[in-house]
Amino acid sequence: MESFVAQLIVGLATGGIYALLVLGMNLLVLVRNIVHHSYSHIVVLTMAMGWLTLTHTNGSIPLAVIVMLISAIIFTIATEPLFRPLSVRGADLETVTLAMGIGIIITEFISKYINGGANFAFPDAMTGRQNTISIGLISFSMANIVVLVGCAAAAAILMWFLFKSKEGRAIRAMAQNLRVAKMLGIPFGRTGVLGFGIAGLLAGFIAILCVMTLGAGSPSLGDTFAVKAIILMLFAGMGNMKGGLFSALFMGVVEAMALAYLPGRWTEAVFYGVIMLVIIWKPNGLFGNKH
Amino acid sequence: MLSSSMTLYLIFCCAFIILVWGALVPFRAGLLYNGTVYCMAVGGYFAAFAAKDLGWPFWLCILGAAVVGAILGFLPALGFSRTSGIVTAVASMALIFIIQSVIRNLDFLGGTRGIRGIPKIEHLLLYSVILVVVLGAFLYRLNHSKLGRALEAIGTDPDMATTLGINVKVMTVFSLTISSIFGAVSGAVYAFNMRTIYPETFGFSLLLSVMTMLFVGGRYTQWGVFISVPLLWGLPQWVPASINSFTQIIYGVILVVILMARPEGIITRELPGRIQHLFARSKEKGAGTV
């Protein structure tokens, strides 16, 4: 029972990170109607930037956090001009391939220049691993709780922004009907850059949370995250923020439980098989793709 | 006589030309189908198993791989007839992870160690060129037949295609099955050329290189692969050794630049027609002066 609760918390924390990834990608679906497959790669690249800052400036953590946030925003906005001509033309499949190309470049860059392709581990002062809480027999890392609270706060702020603020409503209007939105005076370029900027800020935040839970990054982490995030996004329905949140949390818990209690041999095949069947059964996702 | 590394390279080119053609068939119907790589794994493993453990001759292995690939490609294709666009692309990506995981867990296929010591085939280059010619002629006939035009119509506008009396679901299943056969044959050629086969080969990076070859060469005609496959596959051999380790980055940059600057790829839809036109005109001129 005690290990079950601990696994549940680990699963919820992993699910929270997946949820933020899916939220960021869904935001970009709304902004430009693109599937930004390399969003997860940008998160890992941000982690690498943080690691570089820590190694070169004798470990000042606030500076690393600031560098991570700023570099994530810059990287994400830098991809916007690449996607713009394709998203204006409405070429879905080309945008996915373009994003995959960006993903290759980032992954190879990290494996060439960051720690010689090995895993880059962060110091304990930043991960907060050594702080564990014990309630009775249950003990879990403080980092997981921080991640859970951080995810909830980020999701709430993003929801508030999208549904209540003026700019958020402009983004949703553009997603629903681009031509009418342009006619009503919503600037196409500026709103897009704003959306990418917010997605970038979110990417920086996700990178910090990843540092806290995982404690280390690796070049292949981007591919792993990207495949999971894109599958979860389709599982819940493209552009559906709330559906994405729930399915990501659910998937994180299922994954943690499977790792802990199932024999490892066939888990992956069953996992992807179930996902594929659900996607085929409901092509618009479990919760539909409403905006 | 060709050196052995050159022969190896040319056979790989043949295998990848067939593979990219396999990805091209569903693309005409507007589907980005990643299951071609899944069928490549199926075909490769079938050929390796049949040749090594059952002692089948080469052509029987190719034929068997095509049949098994067609059957195993047909079953998921039934499901994919319901989906379209990006949903098909991602759901068929899951197929690749499934087949990798299944192969890893089957002991008679060697598990993670793979199959080693596949028998050597004499004149494999000649055989693979024959396969490329035969499948290329088949693809050319398909593209210029009623079925090919029906696929083109579905790719342009599925609703319009339905009003023209085209059964979109049947045509989707048909195109995905054809694509699976191409993938399986290319997998068999690949297995005979490598002579060892691992589940890790058929992963995400292979998928990315197939996508690069398809998009760089031009995905509206079957001729683009003849430029993109030798170019991209031969890149590590031709560039100087100092930038050899950057090939993956170069692939990525080429893909991004091509998509930005020349969205239809090197060989665009109009180019073959224009070249034909050029030749026809010069012939007319020649006839006029004589």
Which whole number is the average pLDDT over B138-167? 89
CB contact under 8 A, B83 and A97: no
> What's the pLDDT score for residue B290?
43
* Chains A–B, number of C-beta pairs less than 8 Å apart: 115
- Burial (CB count within 10 angstroms: exposed 0-12, middle 13-18, buried 19+), residue A163: exposed
Closest Cα of chain B to A272: distance in Å?
6
Closest Cα of chain B to A159: distance in Å?
25
> What's the pLDDT score for residue B220?
82
Select from B82, B156, B204 the residue whose CB has the most chain A CBs within 10 Å, as the one to mutate to test that interface. Answer: B204
- Burial (CB count within 10 angstroms: exposed 0-12, middle 13-18, buried 19+), residue B279: exposed
Cα–Cα dist A271/A231, whole Å: 11
B74-111 tens-digit pLDDT: 999 998 888 877 888 888 888 888 888 888 888 888 77
Cα–Cα dist B214/B250, whole Å: 16
Closest Cα of chain A to B260: distance in Å?
7
- Assign A286 a pLDDT band (cuts: 50, 70, 90): confident
> What's the pLDDT score for residue B88?
86
Within an 8 Å CB–CB cutoff, is residue B244 touching chain A? no
Cα–Cα dist A30/A16, whole Å: 21
CB contact under 8 A, B101 and A268: yes
Which whole number is the average pLDDT over B11-39? 90
Q: What is the DSSP letter of B199?
A: G
Q: What's at A283, amino acid-wise? A: P
Q: What is the pTM of this model?
A: 0.85
| A140 has pLDDT over 80 | no
CA atoms within 13 A on the CB side of A85: 10
Q: What is the DSSP letter of B197?
A: E
Residue from the list A91, A107, A269 with its beta carbon closest to the beta carbon of B101: A269
- Better-scored residue on pLDDT, B143 or A132: B143
- pLDDT cut 90: percent of chain A above it: 16
A45 interaction partners in chain B (CB closer than 8 Å)? none
> What's the pLDDT score for residue A130?
67
- pLDDT cut 70: percent of chain B above it: 97
A90-111 tens-digit pLDDT: 777 788 888 888 988 898 888 8
Which whole number is the average pLDDT over A44-49? 92
Cα–Cα dist B256/A102, whole Å: 7
Which B-chain residues 19-48 have CB contacts (< 8 A) with chain A?
30, 32
Closest Cα of chain A to B135: distance in Å?
26
CB contact under 8 A, B98 and A96: no
CB contact under 8 A, A234 and B32: no
A275 interaction partners in chain B (CB closer than 8 Å)? 91, 94
- Assign B283 a pLDDT band (cuts: 50, 70, 90): low
A193-214 tens-digit pLDDT: 999 999 999 999 999 988 888 8
- Assign B228 a pLDDT band (cuts: 50, 70, 90): confident
> What's the pLDDT score for residue B184?
94
Query: Pick from A217, A210, A212, A190: which is nearest to A21 by CA?
Result: A210
> What's the pLDDT score for residue B288?
47
Closest Cα of chain B to A284: distance in Å?
8
- Better-scored residue on pLDDT, A95 or B185: B185
Which whole number is the average pLDDT over A44-50? 91
SS3 category, B250 = helix
B46-56 tens-digit pLDDT: 999 998 888 88
Interface predicted TM-score of the whole assembly (ipTM), two decimals: 0.80
A72-91 tens-digit pLDDT: 999 999 998 888 888 777 77
Select from B37, B98, B268 the residue whose CB has the most chain A CBs within 10 Å, as the one to mutate to test that interface. Answer: B98
SS3 category, A237 = coil
Helix axes B225-238, B4-28, angle to 10 degrees: 140
Query: Pick from B183, B257, B185: which is nearest to B215 by CA?
Result: B257
Closest Cα of chain A to B212: distance in Å?
8
Cα–Cα dist A290/B114, whole Å: 45
- Token pair of A154, please? 């980020």
Closest alpha carbon within chain A to B81: A280
Q: How much of chain B is in helix, strand and coil states, percent to nearest 5?
A: 80, 0, 20
> What's the pLDDT score for residue B224?
86
> What's the pLDDT score for residue B282?
67
| B289 has pLDDT over 50 | no
Cα–Cα dist B93/B110, whole Å: 23
SS3 category, A77 = helix
- Burial (CB count within 10 angstroms: exposed 0-12, middle 13-18, buried 19+), residue B29: buried
Within an 8 Å CB–CB cutoff, is residue B93 touching chain A? yes
Main-chain phi, psi angles of B244, to 5 degrees: -65, -30
- pLDDT cut 70: percent of chain A above it: 95
